[in-house]
């Protein structure tokens, strides 16, 4: 990793028939995937796509705002996640000498192992912890408000102006025309917006925790491939990660291994 916008990754997909090496290069929002033996690399712009994979209608300026906002929120989200995430059973820290970019360094190695059989238990513990962390969740929502609301309001304003052009006879006091004003009134009041979001999320989490065991059981029972679903939540699925950290608490190198029985 050169910086937050430039990185390269060497990886391999290993299946029964053999190993398929591939490389990933990240340059800003552009990601390039080169599969060994492939005639052409796969290139796509992460900021130019919506969540469902369709081209975005956002302008380049708004896309850049979203990128910067996501960058600001990342440490806040990580802090909240690690404050509430339970530790897997297999976690260890040791001192090692490791070569990073041809330079041998003295580092701390944090090793984590996780199996599929632990996933449901850890997820339930995480949701329970988040449910109890009123102060942390409200702080997170406040940070999200500060970063996201200015972009949302700007987009709403642009949409209203476009609607006026497309529908000049639309009355602002009609139900359709008044809706943006109602939303804006909520967005202008940070305390109200955060409390509304917190209450909604809290009630959803409360229901999710109460019904957690039944929801998981029902999901497994209704799966089209019961054997595959059982394997995903068994010791047949394993995830291993090594984080190599220097004395300034900067992650200098990461290694991941995911094994899935198909």
Closest to 130 in 3D by CA, of 212, 249, 67, 241: 212
Q: Is the pLDDT of residue 128 over 70?
A: yes
Closest to 251 in 3D by CA, of 62, 100, 50: 100
95-101 contacts, C-beta under 8 A, 24 or more apart? 96/244, 98/244, 98/252, 98/253, 100/244, 100/252, 100/253
Report pLDDT digits (tens) over 13-22.
988 888 999 9
Q: Which residue has the higher pLDDT, 69 or 117?
A: 117
Confidence band of 55 (pLDDT split at 50, 70, 90)? low
237-240 contacts, C-beta under 8 A, 24 or more apart? 237/115, 237/116, 237/119, 237/261, 238/113, 238/114, 238/115, 238/116, 239/112, 239/113, 239/114, 239/115, 240/111, 240/112, 240/113, 240/114
Q: Average per-residue pLDDT in the chain?
A: 83
**% of the chain at pLDDT higher than 70:** 87
What integer is the mean pLDDT of 230-252?
A: 87
Confidence band of 175 (pLDDT split at 50, 70, 90)? very low
Quick one: pLDDT at residue 239?
A: 94
Q: Is the pLDDT of residue 90 over 90?
A: yes
Q: Is the pLDDT of residue 51 over 70?
A: no
């Amino acid at each position: 990793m050169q910086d937050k916008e430039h990185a390269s990754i060497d990886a391999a997909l290993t299946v029964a028939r053999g190993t398929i090496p591939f490389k990933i290069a990240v340059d800003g929002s552009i990601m390039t995937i080169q599969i060994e033996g492939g005639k052409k690399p796969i290139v796509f712009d992460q900021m130019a796509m919506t969540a469902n994979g369709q081209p975005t209608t956002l302008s380049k300026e708004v896309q850049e705002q979203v990128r910067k906002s996501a960058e600001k929120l990342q440490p806040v989200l990580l802090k909240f996640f690690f404050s509430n995430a339970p530790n897997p059973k297999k976690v260890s820290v040791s001192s090692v000498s490791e070569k990073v970019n041809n330079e041998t360094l003295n580092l701390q190695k944090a090793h984590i192992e996780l199996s599929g059989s632990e996933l449901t238990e850890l997820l339930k513990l995480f949701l329970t912890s988040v449910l109890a962390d009123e102060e942390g969740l409200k702080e997170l929502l406040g940070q999200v408000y500060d970063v996201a609301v200015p972009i949302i309001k700007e987009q709403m304003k642009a949409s209203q102006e476009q609607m006026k052009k497309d529908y000049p006879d639309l009355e602002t006091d009609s139900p359709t025309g008044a809706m943006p004003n109602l939303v804006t009134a909520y967005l202008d009041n940070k305390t109200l917006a955060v409390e509304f979001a917190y209450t909604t999320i809290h009630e959803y989490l409360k229901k999710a925790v109460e019904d957690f065991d039944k929801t998981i059981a029902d999901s497994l029972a209704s799966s089209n491939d019961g054997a595959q679903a059982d394997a995903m939540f068994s010791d047949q699925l394993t995830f291993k990660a090594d984080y190599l950290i220097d004395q300034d608490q900067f992650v200098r190198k990461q290694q991941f291994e995911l094994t899935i029985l198909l």
